[in-house]
C-alpha cells in the first residue's frame, strides 16, 4: 500500500471538544476583570493625587487616567476619599512594623528612640506627596479620619511588651489613649516640619519628642 493509500485509509483525527465555561467560571472571569479595573482606578488615583493633590483631583481625572469612564469610577467608589482610605489601609502593615520595632527595643534609651524617630522622619520625606494627600483628605472627609484613627488605635496590638505592664483594664485603656495622643502629636509635628517646611530646630525637636516617647515606652508615665 502506498503512502497516499495509507493516508487515505488513516483514521481521521478527532477534535477534542472544548467544554463550555460553567457559570462559575464565567463569574470568576468577570470577578477578575472587575478586580483589574478596580486596581487600575486605585493606581491612577494615587498618581493623580501625587501630581494634582487630593483637593484638585476629580473623579473624571482618575477615570480618564485609568482609561475608564466617570460612570465606571462610580461603579467601584462613591467618592475619591474611599480610595484614600483604601491606600491608607494598604499602608497599615508599614505603620504596624514601625511600632513593632519600637516595642522590640531590648533596653530603650534616648539614642534608640532618636533612631526610631529618624526612620519616621525619613519615611515622611520619602512619601511626602502621599502624606500630603492623606492630610488634605483628613481635613475634608470623615471616612478618612475614621480609617486613620482605627489604624493608629490598633498599634498597641503589636506592642505586647510595652502594654504587658497594664493589667488593669482602665490603666490599659489610659495607656492606649496616651499612645494615641503621642501619635497625633507626632503626626502634627511631621506635618508642619516636613510637609509645610516650618523653620524649627529639628535636632532639639527630636530630643523633646524622644523624651516623651521614651517615657511612654519605659512606663514612666504609667501612673498617670
Please give the pLDDT value at position 9. 41
Please give the pLDDT value at position 194. 93
169-190 vs 202-218: helix crossing angle, rounded to 10: 170
Compute the average pLDDT of residues 205-213: 96
Please give the pLDDT value at position 14. 53
Compute the average pLDDT of residues 192-200: 90
Quote the DSSP letter at residue 155.
Answer: G
Task: Answer for the pair 217, 164: CB distance below 8 angstroms, yes or no.
Answer: no
How far apart CA 194 and CA 192 sit, in angstroms, is: 6
Residues 6 or more apart whose CB falls under 8 angstroms from that of 149 comprise 180
How far apart CA 127 and CA 50 sit, in angstroms, is: 10
Residue 189 has pLDDT above 50, yes or no: yes
Task: Answer for the pair 77, 68: CB distance below 8 angstroms, yes or no.
Answer: no
Compute the average pLDDT of residues 76-94: 95
Please give the pLDDT value at position 28. 84
CA 206-90-108 angle, 5° bins: 30
CA–chain centroid gap for 54, Å, is 16
How far apart CA 53 and CA 131 sit, in angstroms, is: 10
Task: Answer for the pair 129, 49: CB distance below 8 angstroms, yes or no.
Answer: yes
Given this structure, which CATH class describes domain 22-77?
mainly alpha
Please give the pLDDT value at position 18. 52
Q: C-alpha cell of 105?
A: 527595643
Task: Answer for the pair 152, 129: CB distance below 8 angstroms, yes or no.
Answer: no
Closest CA to 161 of 101, 96, 224, 221: 101
**Entry field: residues in the chain:** 224
The residue ranges of every structural domain in the chain are 22-77, 89-218
Q: How confident is the model at residue 5 (pLDDT cuts 50, 70, 90)?
A: very low
Look up the pTM and report it: 0.80
Give CATH for domain 89-218: 1.10.357
Cα-based distances in Å from 22 to 19, 28, 33, 109, 189: 9, 10, 17, 62, 57
Each residue of 7-51: pLDDT tens digit? 444 444 455 455 565 555 556 888 889 999 999 999 999 999 999
Amino acid at each position: 500500500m502506498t503512502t497516499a493509500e495509507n493516508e487515505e485509509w488513516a483514521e481521521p483525527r478527532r477534535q477534542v471538544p472544548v467544554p463550555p465555561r460553567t457559570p462559575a467560571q464565567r463569574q470568576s472571569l468577570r470577578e477578575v476583570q472587575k478586580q483589574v479595573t478596580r486596581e487600575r482606578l486605585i493606581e491612577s488615583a494615587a498618581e493623580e493625587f501625587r501630581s494634582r493633590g487630593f483637593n484638585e483631583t476629580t473623579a473624571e481625572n482618575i477615570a480618564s487616567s485609568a482609561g475608564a469612564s466617570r460612570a465606571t469610577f462610580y461603579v467601584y467608589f462613591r467618592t475619591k476619599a474611599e480610595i484614600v482610605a483604601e491606600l491608607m489601609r494598604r499602608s497599615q502593615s508599614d505603620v504596624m512594623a514601625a511600632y513593632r520595632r519600637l516595642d522590640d527595643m531590648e533596653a530603650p534609651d534616648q539614642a534608640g528612640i532618636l533612631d526610631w524617630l529618624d526612620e519616621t522622619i525619613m519615611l515622611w520625606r520619602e512619601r511626602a506627596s502621599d502624606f500630603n494627600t492623606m492630610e488634605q483628605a483628613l481635613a475634608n472627609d470623615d471616612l478618612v479620619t475614621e480609617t486613620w484613627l482605627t489604624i493608629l488605635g490598633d498599634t498597641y496590638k503589636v506592642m505586647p511588651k510595652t502594654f504587658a505592664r497594664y493589667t488593669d483594664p482602665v490603666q490599659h485603656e489610659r495607656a492606649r489613649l496616651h499612645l494615641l495622643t503621642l501619635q497625633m502629636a507626632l503626626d502634627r509635628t511631621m506635618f508642619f516640619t516636613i510637609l509645610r517646611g516650618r523653620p524649627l530646630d529639628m535636632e532639639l525637636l527630636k530630643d523633646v519628642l524622644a523624651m516623651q516617647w521614651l517615657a511612654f515606652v519605659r512606663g514612666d508615665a504609667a501612673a498617670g
